[in-house]
Each structure stands twice: as C-alpha cells, then as structure tokens.
Structure 1
Amino acid sequence: MFYFVSVLVLLCNSHCLVGALNDEGYALLSFKHAITQDPEGSLSNWNSSDANPCSWNGITCKEQRVVSLSIPKKKLFGFLPSAMGSLSELRHVNLRNNKLYGSLPIELFEALGLQSLVLYGNTLSGSVPSVIGKLKYLQNLDLSQNFFNGSMPSSIVQCKRLRTVDLRLNNFTGFLPDGFGAGLVSLEKLDLSFNKFNGSIPSDLGNLSSLQGTVDLSHNQFSGIIPASLGNLPEKVYIDLTYNNLSGPIPQNGALMNRGPTAFIGNPGLCGPPLKNPCSSETPGATAPSFPFLPGNFPPQDSDDNSGNSEKSKGLSKRAVIAIVVSDVIGICLVGLLFSYCYSRICYCSKVKDENGYGFAKGGKGRKECLCFRKDESETLSENMEQYDLVALDTQVAFDLDELLKASAFVLGKSGIGIVYKVVLEEGLTLAVRRLGEGGSQRFKEFQTEVEAIGKLRHPNIVTLRAYYWSVDEKLLINDYVPNGNLAAAIHGKPGILSFTPLSWSVRLQIMKGIAKGLVYLHEFSPKKYVHGDLKPNNILLGQNMEPHISDFGLGRLANIAGGSPTLQSNRMVTTDNAQERHQKSASTESAVICSSSTLGSCYQAPEAVKVVKPSQKWDVYSYGVILLEMITGRLPIVQVGSSEMDLVHWIQLCIDDKKPLLDVLDPHLMQDVEMEEEIIAVLKIAMACVHSSPERRPIMRHISDALDRLATSAV
C-alpha cells in the first residue's frame, strides 16, 4: 500500500509540473520511480518532458503505443508498480536477471494483449494471481529462478496459446490444475523442476503433442504411479521424473521406452525396467513377470501338453541329489587333507643370502624350488613376491626410482595419512610424492589392485596418479604437482598469514563448475562409478589457472591396506558395486560424528554416512553443497553464534527462514561482485538442494553441473 501511495504522489507531482507526457509515459515513470537502484543508468533518458516514451531505453512502440518493455540484466533494484497494467497495448515484458523483489501486481494482468512475460532470475515472491487466465494471447511465461510460492492457478489452462511454461527453481506447491494437458495443447516447453509440486501427474499430460526437448518434472513431490499416457508424448521428448515420490511399475510404451535409469532415479517406490529393482506381484499395477523376456528365456509352461516331460520339469531325482552331495563331501575332505599336509610340511630350502641380505630364496640351478609359509604369514605375501621398483601407471612417465630418490624434496604437508613432498627432478619436472608410512601390512596384491584402478582415472578436474612404489619399509604415491595450493587456503587464507588475495565470484564459479564436472566423471563415467567419500576444500587443489583438481581419492583405503591409520574413516576409495561393501562394514558401527570446530572434516559428511553401510554418491553431493555454501559465505563449516557453535548448513537455513538479505550471509570479499547477485542466489539454491537432509531429495551431480552451465548461459 505504501508503494502504491508513493507512486500516486509522484505521478501527481509530475503531472502538475509537466503536461506534455501522455498517459503511457506516466505509467512507465511509475516503474522508474519504483526502481531505487539503476547503477548502469538504464532509465536515465526516461524524462517527463518528452511527449511520449517511444524513444526511451528499452521501450518499443507501434503507432505511438507501447508494445514492449525490455530491460534485461541491468541490475535494476526495485518492484513492479501496479500502474504498468494501464499499458493496454503491451505485448512483451522482459526484465530477466535484475534485482526485482515483491509480488506480481494484479493490475499487470489488465494488459490483456500480453504475449510474453519473462521475469526469471529476480527475487520476486508471492503467488501467481488467478487472473492470469485472462491473458488469452500469452505464449511465453518464464518465472524461473525466483521465490514464487503457492499453487499454479487453475485458470492457467485458459491460456491456450502458451508455448513455454518455465517455473523451475521456485517454491511452488500443490497439484497441477485439472485439464493442464488437455488445455495447453500448444505447449512446446515445460519445466517445473526444483519446486514442491505434489499429487499425481495428470494423465492428460500425454496430450501435449507439441512438446520438444525435455519435459522436466524433477525434484518435486509428485506421487502415485507414472501414467502410461505419458508414452503418448513425441518419442524424441526426454521425460525427467527424477527425485519425486513416484511408485509402481514404469510403463514401457512410446516416449517412456528405451530410457535409461537416470530419467527415473530418486523415486524409491518405482520398479521394473530400466531400474534394477523388479516389481513384485504385490506391486500395484505390476502385471508383468519379474524376469526379463529375452530370446531363449520364456516363462514356465504349465500346459498339460508337457505331461510327458513332467519328470524333467520337476528337477533332479532323489538318487542324483544324494550322489552329488556324497561326491561334494568326499571332495571337501580330500582338499582339507591336502591342505593340512601342505601346511604342516617342513620344506628344506637352502638358505642363500642374496646381495640384499634376504634369507629365503628360490633354489639355484639344479635345485628344487620351494616356498614355505609360516602361520603368521598365511595372509601376507612372501618376500619373494615383494615389489622393489617404481611402477608406472602412465606411459608418459619418464623417470625411475633412482631419479626420484636423488631429487630435491620439500615438505608440502603432513597429516594422519603420511607426509607429502614436492619433488623437483633434474629435468625440471615437479611431482607430489606422498609417503604412506613405513612397515605395516604386506597386502601387496590388494594394494596393487586398488592403486592401479585409481591410476586409470583421467579427467582434467581430478589429480592424476602417475606411479607408485611398494616395499616392506616404504610405500609411495606419485601424483602430478598442482601449484596453487588448496581451496581451503584460497577461501580463508593460510594459518598464520594475515593477508591473502581473495577469490572473485567469477573464479569461484569456475571452481564450482570444475569440481562438479570431476564428480560427474567419478560418479557416471569412471570404470566402477566411484564415490569419493571425503570431499572437502582441503583436498581440492588449484592449478595454474585456478582450475580445481579433486585429490586424495581412495587415499584412506590405500593407507589402510599399507598399514597406515587414516584420520577419517570416510577417507577411502569406495564404489557403488556390491563387491566393495566389505570395505565399508566398519562404518555401520561408528557413532555419529559431531560437527564441531575440533572436527571440521566431519562437517562435510552427509548425515546418513555414519549409519549407512553402503556408500552413496549422495554423500559426495552433500559434501559438495557444503563447499558451495562455504564459497558463498566465506565462513568455515562451523559458525560461531554468540557463545555457541552451529554448523554452516543449519545457519544458512535459519537465515533463509528469517528472510535475511543476501548481504548478511555473503562473503565480505564478494561485496565488489554484488552485481552478480542473481548468479549467487541461483548457486545458493543449488547448494541448499545438495544439503537436503533426505538423500533421495538431493540432485545428482550431472544435474547440478548442467544447472551451473545453464546459469552461465543465461547470464550471457
């Protein structure tokens, strides 16, 4: 009300002073007066002394009537006045990527000829007025990346010419209106992702035969079954239903066929192909058998025609079963006797001292070769199997062990998982060498398997493991050297050094994107679809151009095999394969780690990581979200609130609930980049989705990476 009265006073004053400007000019001046910040002077030539507004910046007229208002990306700070509704011939409004706040005035929808309303990338809030149904000519509605809430008005189905509806990254709730699919038959783009829409997916969405690209319903709260009618959509349309509460079998028809599991993940209740969990006979709507129908794989036949083969169909006879059991018992006994004999046998091996002083060796020429195991060696390798040379994991490795040991070395860091050295070879090649410790377990084959799997990873945002060395007394990992330290130091500075050069927003965004791309590679394109398990700023290294390199992948696991004692149980190489679950059993017995200033590393761990045995890629998503919040706020993952401590995730959530301005949470070093507020807010929304308390509600890294890339594209 205050804004409306202020506008009336300003209009009255302007009208009293000058009478030349027409009514549409006065309506636009109300918009200029509602803008309190115009840093680029976009409205500087909006003058009341003109006869009409047709020559003003951002204004297009036809026959002296305003038909378009287009002022995108000009950092305008203010609200939308109700007087804009008096622009009766207005066809297009484009105010994207500004800093507009407040709600949509109902009067705006009095411009009945409006065809395009583009307001994405602002901080507008409130609900969409039901009078939107009066806009019979509306074709493009883009309200994405705002704070709109409430349900989608049912009257929107009356806007039958709509081609684009983009409401992603808002707080919309409620059901989709009845007749949504039947009424909007001209719709070409539909994006409702990252909202809180609920209820069932309307079956009439299958009527939207003009849709193109991706129909994005992901990251909402839709429930119930997937209507088979969605298969009626054009086959080239990609239907994204990830991270909802959908259940039942996935229909296998039309546009729903031949889709990978990535279109349906995040819905624990869904079953059937392409997901791995089959539908049970009790699953509502499950009519298909649980086994796949492949050539040569048919359901059992119960027909009477097969009565002649009934003996075969019943399986093996009792005699055959007894014979097999007896044979197995005899075989097991023989193997046991043989093993007992070999284990207790005393081998006579000539004690030959080699030049290194090792006692047991293979016999020389003409001697019988013999290898003895003592009881305490039953789970270790013999010294005859020991590795005493540098093993290259890259064909480009052009140095040997002697060169490495003779090179100049400088300590880079020290932790519970060994010391890291900067090593400069004679040719000028610089490497990072980590010592995993001396002595310890002798599980060389296991170590070899793990380290060679890591060595196969190749991505520009993951530190490359070039070689390794194993011996009884020494275990070394040789990586590329990354010159600009780690992300923690880049955000907060190095301990004991008061001054440092803070990162600009553009550099931070580049780092965020690089980390995301590295995690996408680990999660989806690496040989075993790995989980990092211990992602934090300390193990994100920055290259020559500040590009990020994820490090320490699998380090805890290697240290454990080599006999070290990693400081964090989560710092290990894990995969999503069931074969790796044996490495995670200890996690189930761990008590919950309290996030505090003395255990900062635990603040990046997903809440469920301390009680779930099988690792999840959603652990990494949570850690990534905390890192984003740390880069936006410049704060450590523990925030001091009065005399108590609070973790960063909860502190940010409280700030959002209290509707505090962005400047209250923004890193002070980013104040000069405040013009990028729309980008920062968009990244903040992504971060909050990543740190959702429910793993199923967190996005996957590929979607996060795509969202960051789209953000950059929309800012152009």
Structure 2
Amino acid sequence: MEVRPVSPRYDFYLFFLLIVCLPSSFLRASAAVELRTGDFDALLALKSSIDPHDSLPWRQEAVSELCGGWKGVKQCSPDGRVTKLVVEFLNLTGTLLQELLAPLDQLRVLSFKANSLSGAIPDLSPLVNLKSLFLSDNQFSGRIPVTIASLHRLKLIVLSHNLLSGPIPTSLAGLPRLHALLLQDNRLMGEIPPLDQPSLLYLNVSGNNLSGEIPATRSLSRFNRSSFLDNPNLCGDQIGAPCTQKLIFPPPTGSPKSSFDQVNAIPPRLLRTHKKSIRRIIGIVASSVAGAFFLSVCLTVALLLAYKRKRRRVIESRSVGHGSGGRSKPLEEGSSDGGGGGKGGFSWEAEDVGKLVFCGGAGEMYSLEELLRASAETLGRGTVGSTYKAVMESGFIVTVKRLKDASRPPAEEFRRRMEELGRVHHPNLVPFRAYFHAKDERLLVYDYFPNGSLFSLIHGSRPSGSGKPLHWTSCLKIAEDVAAGLLYLHQTNPPTVHADLKPSNVLLGPDFESCLTDYGLIPSLLPASHDDLSAPSPSSSSSSSSAAAAVFYRAPESRLPNPAFTPLSDVYSFGVLLLELLTGKTAMHDLVEEPGADIPRWVRTVRKREKNDFGEDPGPSEEKLTALLDIAVACVAVEAEKRPPTEEVLRMIREARAEVVASSNSSDHSPGRWSDTLQSLPREHGP
C-alpha cells in the first residue's frame, strides 16, 4: 500500500492551530488558577486576622480543596471564585478590615453571625455582587457605613444584637431590592429613614434609641408595633403614639393681614376695651401663679412630713427584723420572702443613695430616679439574691437582681468585678447593663428576656421532677448554645467561672436561643460566705426544694466547706444540665439517686417511658442522642481531671449536631419547638 507524504500545506495548518489555540487555553487555565489563588490567599489572610482559636481548619497546602472541603466556603462559581462564605458560631474575634474582604469581590452571601468580632463594620463597597449580609450577634460598634447603600444588589441586611451607634443611613432607602433590614438591639439614634421599597418584607429596629416620627411610607405602614419596640422617643401611627396634636380649629384660609393692619382696623372704643381686658387678664394670671406657688409649697411640706413618718416606720421595721434574726425586707413593698409575683416599687433608706453605673462604656439609657419609680414583680429567689421584673413609667423593662449581702465584697472590689462582668458580651449571655451600690443596697440590672427559662421549657407547670424530655433537635440546639456561652466565659481575661449553672439560669432569648444569666456572681460576691454553697446535711431544713436542688448541679469539689470554682466545675454542672435535658428529671431527684453507674441505659429507659406516657413513638431518631449522652457522662465524672475541657465539649456537640442533621430526613425535625426567624430567612434570592 502506498503511503502518501503529508502535504506541506497541512503541516502549516497544524502549526497555525498549535500557535493560536494552545496559548489561549493556557491563558484561560492560568486565569482560573490565579482567580482561585487570589481568593485562597484572601481567606488565609482573613483567618490569620480573626481566628486565634483555630476554629477554621483552613491550611496553606489545601488550595485544591478550597471549593470542596473548606469549612464555611458554601459555594463557588464555575471558575473557582468563592460566592458564599458562611462562618458562624466559631468564636471568631478581632476586627474585620476592608483589605481582607475586598479581594472576595464575587461574594453573593457573607455571614459572620454569632461570633465575637468587634470594631467598626468595614467599607464593603468592593463586594459589588453581595446580596445577603449577616453580621448579627457580634460586638461591632461605631456607625453603619453609608457605603453599604452602594451595593445595589443587596437584599438582606442583618446587623442585629451588636453595639452599633449613630443614625441609620438614609441612603438605605435607595436600595431597590431590599428584602429584610434587621437592626434590633443596638444603640442606634436619630430618625428612621423613609424606606419605601415594595420588596421590603422584614423590618426590625426595636431595642435602640431612635427618635422622631416613623415615616408614613407605604412600606413602613405595613409593619406593626413589634418592629419598633423599646425606642421611647419614637412616635407615629404604626405604634399608636401620635407625634403632634392636631388643631381642633384650623387657621382660616386666605392671605392673613399684617398685625399692623389688624390693630388699625379695630375701632377706638373697642381698642380701649381691649386694653382693659388685657390688664384684667394679666392680673388674673398673676394671682393664679401666686396661688399655684403657694399651693405647691404646702404640698411639698406635706410630702416631706409624710416621707419622714414613712422613713421612720421603715427604719423601725428593719431594726426589729434584724434584731429578731430575720432578713431585710424585699425590694417590693407589701411582698414577703416566701412568695413571688407580688408587685410594688423599689424602696430603701435614703442615706447614701449611691449611683447607677452603666457598664461596658454604654451611655445612660435611663436614670436612677426612673429605676426607683419602676413597679417590680418578683421572678424568683436564688443563691445570691432575688430577681425582679422592673417596668418603668416609660414602658422600658429590665431585670433587676437584688443581692442578699450588700456588705461583701468591699465596695472597691465590687465595682471592679462589676466592670469586668460588664465587658462580657456574647450572643449566648444575657447582657449585664448596670449596677447600683449604696450603703445597704446592691442591685444588678440585666436585659429582660420574656420567653422564660430552660427550666420552664422542660418542666412547664408540672410538678418538680416530672418534665417531658425534649425532642433530640432541641436538645442539641440548647446544648450547643449553653456550651458556646460557657466557652466564651472561660476564655475571658481573667477567666470567668459561672459557678451556678442550672436550667433556671438559662433564659430563652428573642429567637429562643439559650442565654446564660447570673454568670460569675458566686465567686465574685460570696468569697467569704460559703455556708449555703456546701451540700446540706440530712438534718438541715431547706427553705425551698429549688435551693436544695441547686446543690446537686455543683461539682463534688464545689460542695466542700472551701469550695473550688473552676471551668471544670462548670463542665460538671453542664453535664447534669444535659442529663436533665435528656430525661426531664430534676437534679435533686433521679439524676443523683437512681442511675448509679449505668447512666446511659437509665437515660434511654426514661426517655422511652416518658414518650410512651405522652403517647409518642420514641422511634429510631432517639439513637441520634447517643453522642450527646456520651458527652454528658464524660462531663459528670467525679474527678475533675477526667472531665473534658469546655472547648472539647463544644467541639463534640457541634460535630454530633452536624452529623445527625446531615443524616436526618425532613420528617425528623423538631415539631415547632423553636422560632428560628433569622435562620428561616432566605439566604439568597434570584438575580
């Protein structure tokens, strides 16, 4: 067979194709690698700036896994650019800088929710493709950057639960696609901008210091009072608070005459009569003012006399109470130490009135006088004092804890410790806002959480020890929230030990997240008085079953005459809380006496029995709690050194939650236990 030689013409065509096609392919491949490497370097720089605890397992040698295995990188474009970055609940700290985020200009979704980031929100204008921004539950301060309005594709802005101040940028009214604006629980001031986007479906600016009239735009008129709560100086039809009184008799129409023309138009006789009337009116007004002044003096004298008589009775009653070995009267007038729910006002002796001090650099949100005039309702009584719901005349509500012992620690140490607690901020901690210190009185002021406590969620109105076990998804969510709050406390400088962790000290926040309260009080306020902290003897009588139960949440080393409070003693309390969460049994009953060494089998038996009693099928999903049960058993080890550290506990819980959520089907979710409003918002909409 004859083989024909290849024509030189074909050689030329082949050479031409190689010259033209290969460089272009090489350039495209190089561009893709360069783009990916740019995001890769930017993410590593971001990690080095805000991840001191190494919560993000991003590594230099893992560039090929950027869009397939990096934690938090949820989505990439076909050419390898990061489009969705979600790094939440990772205890990230530090400040976000523009130069760290600017290279990530293909981002559509950016979320740093529920970390500990601080400082100002950076200029995000380089992120021109951004559609969803989640920075809630951090410690961002300063003003909302006005350049945020340059991101015309932006639909979701969630900046709630931070320390932001200044006005809401009016330029936000120019975002054409704005779908949700959540700014609640900050320190924003000024007026609400005239937002009128038809796309605006979610709005919350409650818990700020906004003022003025709510604009009566079509969009803002759709939102009710709940979107604007706790802004005392706001007014408008949306909240039922008119800004100005309308004139009953409107002024006449037409161009009014000048005052000179009006005077000249009056006839002389009427003018003289008019002058006499003016003198008569002046005399009447002067006599009325003098009478009112005399009356006010009389009332003042009467009030002073009444106050002195009342103060004398209070002092006498207090001296009688102390002389008979009794405790001082509670803050509420007319209530006794034995019951709750009474209402009254705060009152104490006027000597050494003291000062209301706001913590953490916060400005004065209300005055001492307003707090003293507040009506008080008893919420409960605990180890360190009584807790009240205080409703001020303005409608502002706070929680006030009145300490049992106002003499220890010394005043200077008390102030120092309160300032330390005031600097503690985390999404899973109830904010501590202010403290009051006088000669015989110490008050602590916290945010008010109306959704109740974990104890009421578990036990409801049932008798103590007979609560219903929660669904496994709720158990995991609560466990993660509580562990995250504990870890933050243990990592503060100096470390803060809770020392009184129990379900009644875990409150449910606005989004039903679990938040710790009363943290750090026992080591700070009762350093020399541990009589009521050690385990009760069999012969001793307790004032209430809850006080006795509180002892069993404490680690063995914390029940000794000289108790030791450490992060590992908090881990023990957390383990007991987990067992109560899983079984619905209080610590004073079955948790201590019945299970013995075989806690896992006992927990499974209790959950199966309780669910059958409530007519529910335990089902195979109960096995998903095995990991959580193993964590609880490890935490309640008698020897402190055998308990896992707090960071290990949180890591195990998050791994367990991620594993069971990934393996569960849609029918296995909790039946409406939690109101996850923010989580249910769409993370990204169409273009």
TM over 0.5: no
Q: Which has the higher contact order (CA 8 A, sep 6+)?
A: 2
Q: Which of the pair is proportionally richer in helix?
A: 2
TM-score normalised by the chain length of structure 1: 0.38
